[in-house]
Amino acid sequence: MEIWDILDGDGKPTGKTMIKGENIPEGQYHLGADIWIINSENKILIQKRSPQKVLSPNVWAMTGGSVIKGESSRQTIERETMEELGIKLNTEKAQLLKRIKSDDVWIDTYFIKQDIDLRKIKMQEDEVCDIKWATYDEIEQIFQEGKFMRNRWEFVRDIIKDFIQHS
């Protein structure tokens, strides 16, 4: 059972909590965290969400999840990456890109430059069914086809493109 802190419309904690799966009251939010992992070839690690997922099954996405009570968003990206992919991130090197509001969640969005051997990934089957390194243009194509998780790529693609062009 996950317990989430409830945030207000400005992304500030209200002091209230909720249990994952409960309906979030109008005008209140919980916190999520995403990590965009970029390798030395400027390819981005994406994962295909399991067909068992309630939210956005069988679509491509970055790694991420909900921040649980008492956890920072940086701790969340470390935990989620380990749970879903079996990868240990050096989160001290992760950079916060921005905080975005989408539906009933505020999302702290990070990126990190890190090479990862895909052969060492251990996918959590109820979360992830495929992984791959993709170029910016490949992700843009997946997004245009409607096969990328809604309200993610469109908020960071310009920042990631700028980073890739200047690294």
Question: What whole-number distance in Å separates Cα of residue 61 and Cα of residue 157?
Answer: 13
Res 35: pLDDT: 97
53-57, 102-106, 134-138, 160-164: which is most confident: 134-138
Domain boundaries, the chain: 34-100+111-165
Given a cut of 90, is residue 23 above it in pLDDT?
Answer: no
**DSSP β-bridge partners for residue 29:** 7
Cβ atoms of 65 and 85 within 8 Å: the answer is: no
Does the pLDDT value for residue 167 go beyond 80? Answer: no
**How many angstroms separate the CA atoms of 70 and 90, rounded?**
20
CA-angle at 47, arms to 44 and 48, nearest 5°? 140
- The Cα 107–Cα 90 span in angstroms is 20
pLDDT at 113: 95
| Chain centroid offset of residue 122 CA | 17
Q: Which fold has domain 34-100+111-165?
A: Nucleoside Triphosphate Pyrophosphohydrolase (3.90.79)
Q: What is the pLDDT of residue 151?
A: 87
Average pLDDT score over residue span 103-129:
95
Q: What is the pTM assigned to this prediction? A: 0.93
Average pLDDT over residues 39-65: 95
Q: Is the pLDDT of residue 5 over 90?
A: yes
Query: Looking at residue 138, what is its pLDDT?
Result: 98
Q: How far apart are CA 27 and CA 29, in angstroms?
A: 7
